[in-house]
Chain A
Amino acid sequence: MSFWRGVACAVLLLVVGVSLGANWLAPAGYAKQYREAAGSPPSHEHWLGTDEIGRDRFARVLYGTRISLLLAPAAALLSTLMAALVGGLAGYLGGRWARAAMTVTDLFLSLPWLFLLITIRALLPLNVSPIVSVLVTFLMLGLLGWTSAARVLCTSAGALRNSDFVRQARASGIRGARLFWVHVLPNLKPVLYAQFWISIPAFILSEANLGILGLGVAEPLPSWGSLLKELEGLVSVGEEPWKFVPLILLAIVVTSFQLVLSNRDEVAA
């Protein structure tokens, strides 16, 4: 398994590296239109062809990968921090604090994820600039995706609260925030890392779903969601197979994350 985990890590590093090099690999950018070559198949100039308004698909895949792969971890970091704060603190304080926090998380968890996302997305303005739409989409994922992680962290922090070393620290006079920051939170690190890594592929897939449904990142900025929206116009799979490249890339990246995570799932549980 460690061999496959190594391969998965290498694939992820390669994809991240290539997407970071988008400025050099596709200097024309993701928005430049080649009107004379709109909707053209792959060629020397355009390796993955152009979309229906003449933008280079290869450049859009590179920039879209960069957006999805940089912002999904940012959203995962935000959700993990929120989970640490809410779940960790609730578990550490225990009693009615833990019960209240768990009631809130239960309420969030009882809503199907996609329903919750589109309800909150509808509350926010849809007609915004592309940059704002990217921030809104990933901020929303980060701010709503903390509940299941908070549940796990609340249980872990609750177990730590009654552990010997925390009792000993308490007996030595360490109290309140210092006890939480110095003794409890560092011991929650393995769970926090696991939750962070688990959230990334989940957020990538959620952004893709939102993008295809027209509720994600706004044009002309590319993301995996908006790139996959192109599949809507297909008549048959064999007709323009190069349009499946973003899907294949997304599947490879998510699979790589799953492989990297394979032992972290146990920690998270």
Chain B
Amino acid sequence: MLARKIARHGVTLLATALLGGFLSATLVRLAPGFDSDEAQLDPHLSSQSIEALRQQRTDQHNIFTFYVHSLQSAWHGDLGNSISLRQPVASLLRERIPLTLRLIGIALLLNWAAVLALALSAAWLRKFAYDTLATLVSGTLLCIPAAVLALLSVLWNVPGALAIGLIIFPRDYRYTRNLLAKAYTLPHIVTARAKGLSELRILFWHVVPVAGPQLLAVAGVSVSLAVGAAIPVEALCGLAGVGQLAWQAALARDLPLLVNITVLVTLVTLLANSGADVIGHVWRGQQA
């Protein structure tokens, strides 16, 4: 059953990557300036070389030929060249991925520490004032655009990871709080409380096993939110990560770079969601 689930996720991932890759290649192929090549203007090239370059472009006019060619190149690690930065896309990504991963990793840790601390204490204490205050804080953060939070983090010298954490916090808090509040109203938990079980025991023995798999799904989605939040934070805080690279590529209309980043990000978010889904499935299986 588990193997089938993992296989299904694997097939979905592969199909999405192929479909996403096809759409990306289509975008690159249709982008303005695709047919022009500065190399053809090089006065040192012979007429045969220029003709060969032209022929190469003509071969790529068919969208399917172009896609197969792009897929073959990507398979061999060649993701094409950035138009604006004049560097191979693969090396640009290699340089910037570690910073983005570090930022997102720290942001997720900070976010989940705050979310669990606040949501658990709100569910545990069941005090109206405390719950209202926490909801008010998360609601306020939800109403501020991510880019403004990034600007304010620059103004107040807040680290980029914390800014990403603050952007994703309100959504995660809302879901987590609702899941925990719902779990606390289940009849067997009300009974456990009536029988005088300690709050800690209720939490770890009854609430977490019920809400855990759903919380894992929220954690999977928060990876996607963190990746999205990395764009404004890296762009406005001057952090040289993948988010900043995507923003620069968008401003320069550098589609080969942008679509490669988008496909990479899509795979990361799909992997995170699939991972959360599989772990949740195992968890539920153990409970059964």
B139 touches A258 (CB 8 A): yes
B151 in the interface, Cβ–Cβ < 8 Å?
A: yes
A72 in the interface, Cβ–Cβ < 8 Å?
A: no
Q: Given A115-B246, A126-B253, A209-B232, does the pair A228, B27 have CB atoms closer than 8 Å?
A: no
A110 touches B251 (CB 8 A): no
Select the residue from B145, B228, B251, B266 with max chain A CB neighbours within 10 A: B145
Chain B 199-230 interface mask (CB, 8 Å, partner A; 1/0): 00000000000000000000000001101110
> Could you tell me the distance in whole angstroms from the C-beta of A110 to the nearest C-beta in chain B?
5
B288 in the interface, Cβ–Cβ < 8 Å?
A: no
**Which residues of chain A from 189 to 220 have a CB within 8 Å of any chain B CB?**
201, 205, 208-209, 212-215
Chain A 228-269 interface mask (CB, 8 Å, partner B; 1/0): 100110111100000000010011001100100000000000
Contacts of B228 in A (CB 8 A): 112-115
Contacts of B249 in A (CB 8 A): 122
B115 in the interface, Cβ–Cβ < 8 Å?
A: no
Chain A contact residues: helix, strand, loop or mixed: helix
B108 in the interface, Cβ–Cβ < 8 Å?
A: no
- What residue of chain A has the Cβ atom nearest to residue B15's Cβ? A103
A119 touches B259 (CB 8 A): yes
B190 in the interface, Cβ–Cβ < 8 Å?
A: no
**Which residues of chain A from 100 to 115 have a CB within 8 Å of any chain B CB?**
106-107, 110-115
A118 touches B148 (CB 8 A): no
A114 touches B145 (CB 8 A): no
A213 touches B235 (CB 8 A): yes
B19 in the interface, Cβ–Cβ < 8 Å?
A: yes
- What residue of chain B has the Cβ atom nearest to residue A214's Cβ? B251
Contacts of B261 in A (CB 8 A): 115
A205 touches B145 (CB 8 A): yes
B31 in the interface, Cβ–Cβ < 8 Å?
A: yes
A119 touches B143 (CB 8 A): no
A118 touches B247 (CB 8 A): yes
A111 touches B151 (CB 8 A): no
B155 touches A215 (CB 8 A): no
Contacts of A123 in B (CB 8 A): 27, 30-31, 253, 255
Q: Given A107-B20, A110-B16, A110-B269, does the pair A215, B142 have CB atoms closer than 8 Å?
A: no
Residue in A201, A212, A254, A255 whose beta carbon sits within 8 Å of that of B147 in the complex = A212
> Could you tell me the distance in whole angstroms from the C-beta of B179 to the nearest C-beta in chain A?
13
B139 touches A228 (CB 8 A): no
- Complex CA gap A174/B16 in Å reads 38
A112 touches B265 (CB 8 A): yes
A46 in the interface, Cβ–Cβ < 8 Å?
A: no
B235 touches A115 (CB 8 A): no
A111 touches B262 (CB 8 A): yes
A209 touches B262 (CB 8 A): no
> Could you tell me the distance in whole angstroms from the C-beta of B122 to the nearest C-beta in chain A?
18
- In the complex, the 7 A-B pairs of residues with the closest C-beta atoms, listed nearest first: A112-B228, A212-B147, A208-B145, A254-B143, A118-B250, A122-B250, A251-B143
**Interface residues, chain A, CB within 8 Å of chain B?**
106-107, 110-116, 118-119, 121-123, 125-126, 201, 205, 208-209, 212-215, 225, 228, 231-232, 234-237, 247, 250-251, 254-255, 258
**Interface residues, chain B, CB within 8 Å of chain A?**
16, 19-20, 23, 27, 30-32, 139-140, 142-148, 151-152, 155-156, 224-225, 227-229, 231-232, 235-236, 246-247, 249-251, 253-255, 258-259, 261-262, 265-266, 269-270, 273
Please, could you name 8 A-B residue pairs with CB atoms under 8 Å apart, sorted by A? Answer: A110-B20, A110-B269, A111-B20, A119-B259, A231-B155, A232-B151, A251-B143, A255-B139
Known: A118-B247, A208-B145, A232-B151. 4 other contacts (CB 8 A): A111-B20, A114-B228, A126-B251, A231-B151
